[in-house]
């Protein structure tokens, strides 16, 4: 079976053509699929509109005729007149809808819109009322005439139609207001999500080059002193770079994988600082599969080495701890030294980006604290258990351990 496509004619109109499945360029196939989806959407909205119209007007007219039906006054002629009134209601309200759409009434200010709704209801209500009166007089010749008879009854019919059509206009505007509000809210949510993803990608792109720059500086210091160790360090750095690149598109990684990255980094730094850098890990094995943001623990450890160990002639100790906490876990990085005055909240690019990433990923539920404690600088990171962040790739232990 062949699919239908739309091709432009010489005067710019669209004409249907036949496009066999699998033929044509990918752009043409995508355009054809988009046209079919748009046509299906328009068709479904049209069916919903007419179904609602028919049900609403039929129900309303039957409700008006219910007393006659209960009194036993129903006749086939009465049923025919009721059906004709349903058609009049459909035609009048659809004419109003055309005014709303083609004349763009919904784009007008509230005052101008209200005036047009009233004017439209009066004009179309008058036409519908006259039609009803004429049909009534023709269908029931023995009844009191509406046209040429008692003017009060004709006025009541006209006013009834005007009110009905104005109420229909109000319902139409309310429906479109609700739909447009929901669409606007959905657009705002999509935009916010896109902005957050863009900001997170930007933060990751800042963190990874920052880490690589510091690692290269460490290797440079080894080249003149010990070329063999520098070569091993370059091999280790290539593994770290491969891992950093693989985490760019991942929202989270298992804690065990992040700890392996930290071990490799500290091994690399140990080649530079030698006995000045002492490392200890206290990681609960039960937490190895818990999700954490990639390169976040690594950033805290790097900060401890650069601002703690590197500035001390005698060096010091870096301790990495991970333990379970209420509804989450706590990652703690300790390093020898003292917290500088005014640096309680961290001012470097690594810590600043870490706080921003936490705010985006955990919506204020995570926290990062720094303090002095028994001659050590303690950086404590609390991560809540957030199920929607627990999506990461399979993890195999020991992938980066040197």
Which domains are present in the chain? 29-190 (no CATH), 250-389 (3.30.565.10)
* Cα–Cα distance for residue pair 273/176, rounded to 1 Å: 68
Q: CB neighbours (10 Å) of residue 395? A: 15
pLDDT in tens, 11-58: 444 444 444 444 555 445 545 555 666 677 678 878 888 888 899 888
Locate all alpha helices (DSSP H) within 65-150, ordered by sequence.
66-70, 76-102, 110-139
Burial of residue 399 (number of CB atoms within 10 Å: 0-12, 13-18, 19+): middle
pLDDT in tens, 171-218: 989 988 888 888 788 877 776 666 566 655 655 555 556 666 767 877
| Token pair belonging to 175 | 């429906």
> In this predicted structure, what is the pLDDT of residue 249?
67
* Cα–Cα distance for residue pair 375/373, rounded to 1 Å: 6
* Cα–Cα distance for residue pair 98/49, rounded to 1 Å: 13
CB 272 within 8 A of CB 221: yes
DSSP SS3 for 363: coil
Q: Which parts of the chain register pLDDT below 70?
A: 1-38, 41, 73-74, 191-212, 214, 244, 247-249, 341-350, 387-402
* Cα–Cα distance for residue pair 277/266, rounded to 1 Å: 9
Among 53, 135, 130, which residue's Cα sits nearest to residue 95? Answer: 53
CB 158 within 8 A of CB 126: yes
> In this predicted structure, what is the pLDDT of residue 237?
81
CB 244 within 8 A of CB 212: yes
> In this predicted structure, what is the pLDDT of residue 233?
83
Among 83, 92, 94, 78, which residue's Cα sits nearest to residue 60? Answer: 83
Among 359, 351, 348, which residue's Cα sits nearest to residue 383? Answer: 359
């Amino acid at each position: 079976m062949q699919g239908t496509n739309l091709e432009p004619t010489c005067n710019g109109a669209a004409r249907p053509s036949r496009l066999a499945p699998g033929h044509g360029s990918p752009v043409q196939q995508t355009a054809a699929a988009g046209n079919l989806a748009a046509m299906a959407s328009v068709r479904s909205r049209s069916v919903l509109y007419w179904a609602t119209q028919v049900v609403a007007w039929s129900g309303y007219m039957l409700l008006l005729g219910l007393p006659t039906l209960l009194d036993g006054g129903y006749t086939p002629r009465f049923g025919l007149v009721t059906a004709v009134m349903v058609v009049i209601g459909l035609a009048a309200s659809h004419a109003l809808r055309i005014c709303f759409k083609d004349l763009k009434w919904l784009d007008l200010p509230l005052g101008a819109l209200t005036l047009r709704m009233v004017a439209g209801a009066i004009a179309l209500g008058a036409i519908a009322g006259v039609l009803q009166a004429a049909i009534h007089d023709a269908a029931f010749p023995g009844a009191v005439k509406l046209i040429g008879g008692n003017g009060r009854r004709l006025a009541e019919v006209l006013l009834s139609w005007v009110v009905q059509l104005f109420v229909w206009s109000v319902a139409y505007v309310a429906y479109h207001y609700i739909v447009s509000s929901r669409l606007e809210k959905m657009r705002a949510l999509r935009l916010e999500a896109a902005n957050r993803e863009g900001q997170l990608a930007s933060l990751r792109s800042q963190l990874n080059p920052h880490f690589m720059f510091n690692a290269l500086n460490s290797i440079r210091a080894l080249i003149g002193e010990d070329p063999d160790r520098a070569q091993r360090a370059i091999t280790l750095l290539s593994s770290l770079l491969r891992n950093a690149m693989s985490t760019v598109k991942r929202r989270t990684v298992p804690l065990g994988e992040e700890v392996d990255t930290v071990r490799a980094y500290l091994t690399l730094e140990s080649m530079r600082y030698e006995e000045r850098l002492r490392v200890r890990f206290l990681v609960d094995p039960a937490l190895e599969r818990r999700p954490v943001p990639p390169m976040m623990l690594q950033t805290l450890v790097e900060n401890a080495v650069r601002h703690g160990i590197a500035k001390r002639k005698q060096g010091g100790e870096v301790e990495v701890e991970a333990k379970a906490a209420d509804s989450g876990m706590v990652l703690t990085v300790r390093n020898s030294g003292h917290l500088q005055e005014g640096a309680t909240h961290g001012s470097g690019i690594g810590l600043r980006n870490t706080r921003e990433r936490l705010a985006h990923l955990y919506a204020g539920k995570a926290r990062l604290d720094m303090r002095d404690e028994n001659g050590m600088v303690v950086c404590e990171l609390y991560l809540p258990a957030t199920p929607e962040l627990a999506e990461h790739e399979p993890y195999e232990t020991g992938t980066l351990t040197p």
